């Protein structure tokens, strides 16, 4: 945890933050914090700053908070991802938030197992929890919105063209196509397929909606590594 995040309502008007549970445990056991110690803090969807430990015991910790700076800018990236299996989804949500993806869309695809849409990982509180873990790592405060699209065709035909307007739209799909660009300066949508890849029909639909196909080289990467490689190229 490189940034201790808290919700606006958790802090009193006098800037006093009282913690129990995981965050208090982290202060005590990992950071071995003592009264007077300072650490980086951030208000969820707000500014970052400094927290001075005013009290700490076995069950709780109290910090005096001063917020002074904006969070780091997001990458100009909208991630469009075929819904991966739950274990991978947890890791990808963390990583996408950590890299600074501005927005995440989870999409159905022929090779997405139906059961994946029933996973408890998709519960808003669980999504939020994994995003927060990524933000804590990279010292960001702003939660990227996550949208679910359980039907491929209506999304790609009716919503994707609008989403792509004003953006470069890259479809990562193995093949003999140009490498994905680096150092994104303009808003960009990155589409990544499921473990078995997009089927030809889906590739055609994504291209018709305005995406252009790009490659990540001759190696076929796992979904989570393809996402990380693409977001790494965006920086």
**Residues of the shown chain interacting with ligand SAM in the complex, contacts defined by CB under 6 A:** 172-174, 192-193, 195-198, 215-217, 219-223, 226
User: Smaller CB distance to ligand SAM: residue 154 or 217?
Assistant: 217
CB of 174 to ligand SAM, least distance (A): 4
**CA-to-CA dists, residue 67 to 49, 174, 212, angstroms:** 4, 45, 42
User: In 3-state terms, what secondary structure has residue 195?
Assistant: coil
User: Smaller CB distance to ligand SAM: residue 56 or 216?
Assistant: 216
CB of 97 to ligand SAM, least distance (A): 19
CB of 218 to ligand SAM, least distance (A): 7
Q: Tell me how far apart the alpha carbons of residues 135 and 141 are, in angstroms, rounded to a whole number.
A: 6
**Sequence-distant (≥ 6) Cβ neighbours of residue 87 within 8 angstroms:** none
- Positions of E strands within 60-200: 60-69, 77-82, 103-107, 146-149, 168-172, 188-192
Number of Cβ within 10 Å of residue 38's Cβ equals: 13
CB of 94 to ligand SAM, least distance (A): 18
User: Smaller CB distance to ligand SAM: residue 94 or 173?
Assistant: 173
End-to-end CA distance of the chain: give it in Å, rounded: 22
CB of 91 to ligand SAM, least distance (A): 14
Residue nearest to ligand SAM (CB): 197
User: Smaller CB distance to ligand SAM: residue 41 or 223?
Assistant: 223
């Amino acid at each position: 945890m490189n940034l201790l995040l808290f919700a606006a309502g958790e802090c009193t008007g006098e800037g006093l933050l009282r913690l129990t549970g995981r965050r208090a445990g982290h202060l005590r056991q990992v950071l071995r914090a003592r009264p007077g110690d300072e650490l980086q803090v951030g208000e969820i969807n707000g500014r970052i700053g400094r927290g001075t430990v005013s009290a700490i015991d076995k069950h709780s910790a109290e910090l005096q908070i001063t917020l002074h700076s904006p969070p780091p800018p997001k990458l100009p990236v909208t991630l469009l991802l075929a819904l991966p299996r739950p274990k991978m989804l947890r890791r990808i949500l963390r990583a996408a938030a950590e890299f600074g993806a501005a927005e995440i869309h989870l999409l159905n695809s022929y090779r997405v197992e139906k059961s994946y849409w029933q996973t408890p990982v998709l519960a808003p509180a669980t999504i939020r929890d994994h995003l927060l873990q990524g933000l804590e790592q990279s010292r960001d405060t702003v939660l990227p919105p996550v949208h679910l699209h359980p039907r491929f065709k209506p999304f790609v035909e009716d919503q994707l063209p609008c989403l792509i307007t004003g953006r470069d739209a890259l479809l990562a799909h193995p093949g003999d196509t140009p490498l994905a660009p680096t150092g994104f300066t303009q808003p960009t949508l990155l589409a990544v397929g499921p473990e078995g890849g997009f089927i030809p029909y889906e590739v055609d639909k994504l291209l018709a909606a305005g995406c252009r196909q790009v490659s990540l080289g001759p190696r076929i990467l796992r979904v989570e590594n393809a996402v990380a490689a693409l977001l790494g190229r965006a920086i």
